[in-house]
Amino acid sequence: MKRQLRALAAAGLLLGSSLVAVALGGNASADTQICEQYGSTVIQSRYVVQNNRWGTTAQQCINVTGSGFEITTQNGSSPTNGAPTAYPSVFFGCHYTNCSPGTNLPIQVSQISSATSSISYRYVSGATYNASYDIWLDPSPKRDGVNQMEIMIWLNRQGSIQPIGSVVGTTTLAGRTWEVWRGSNGSNNVISYVAPSAISSLNFSVLDFINDVRNRGAITNSWYLTSIQAGFEPWQGGVGLAVTSFSASVNGGGNPTTPPPTTPPPGNAACAVKYTANSWNNGFTADVQITNTGSSAINGWTLTYSLPSGQQVTNAWNATVSQSGSTVTARNTGHNGSVAPGGTASFGYQGTLSGSYSSPTSFSLNGATCSRS
């Protein structure tokens, strides 16, 4: 696998961070120098820092601290229309059989209740590189080899480099606007979120990016999050680049639902539903927003409605969705079961389509009819 990845890189097919790491063991308490090509060490008894020089034969060294690392030697150079020289990084989870101590990854996306992270970078001038935060996912709980889905968050881009694929639009996540790129490097699919200007630190929800990728149809809730990584992809230069701090936490318990009340309490009968769909020849997606228009909170909800003939739900997010005949039943997940007066809860799903498309016309929440909004 190492030979295959290096061949892809040499052919200019691999701009993403398909990497290899070999654990050296130990826990870095004082500064530790790593020059070995795939050398790594542990910090804070929780994260792995890896050198990961895979796109050049020239030497690269990193100085590992108690909170991150710095590139101290970078002798390699790669053309900007091909792969970078390396991906020195710090990670939480499992990567090529190297798992961070005590990690709960891989974990199925449907089981994640929250996934948060913070990162701080130090940048230099005169080099060509990106500051890349990588999120890896796979249909199986994979602890070795290349995963099928790579989410890249480019917090800084210097020089004439660009992500894999092409621009497919923009989106707002973590309170910022990102340019979205989508493509494949021949080994895995990649969706990249590129900041319009350099971001030196970010505290954010990893799950928000995972949900956006899922909403684009690239993964489903049955996939597994395998690792969270932060580092640099240098093409030319890069000495002095540093991750000064990194943290990541992934919590389970996302699948259990809050059962709805058997009898809707007063105030829960007032609701409005906004149904937004996008269809093509043989499929469709739908985003559903429930608004509590009543005077008391909704604590646990079940939305029911009928899909027109020829529509079949295949996967869903932010709700447990089942279909019997034409009847669809959507139940809240653990994080969106409580809806305050004036508040909203949203979910979505993807389905197959036979014939012409039309949207459902009526909805009931906890047994009460909702208006359309």
Catalytic machinery residues = 150, 233
Distance CA(117)–CA(99), nearest Å, equals 18
Find the length of the chain.
Answer: 373
* Residue owning tokens 């389509």: 353
In sign, the C-alpha dihedral spanning 207, 210, 214, 219 is negative
Token digits for 114? 């929250």
> How would you write 264-308 as a 3-class SS string?
CCCCCCCEEEEEEEEEECCEEEEEEEEEECCCCCEECCEEEEECC
For residue 5, give the 3-state DSSP assignment.
helix
Token digits for 149? 């889905």
Q: At 56, which helix (H) or strand (E)?
A: none
- Amino acid identity of residue 17, one-letter, is S
- Amino acid identity of residue 56, one-letter, is T
Distance CA(35)–CA(98), nearest Å, equals 18
Nearest Cα to Cα of residue 235 among 90, 350, 74 = 74
What is each CA distance from 2 to 18, 20, 80, 84, 352, in whole angstroms?
Answer: 10, 7, 22, 16, 39
Asked if 298 and 292 count as a contact pair (C-beta separation under 8 A), the reply is yes
Name the pairing type of β-strands 166-173 and 176-184.
Answer: antiparallel
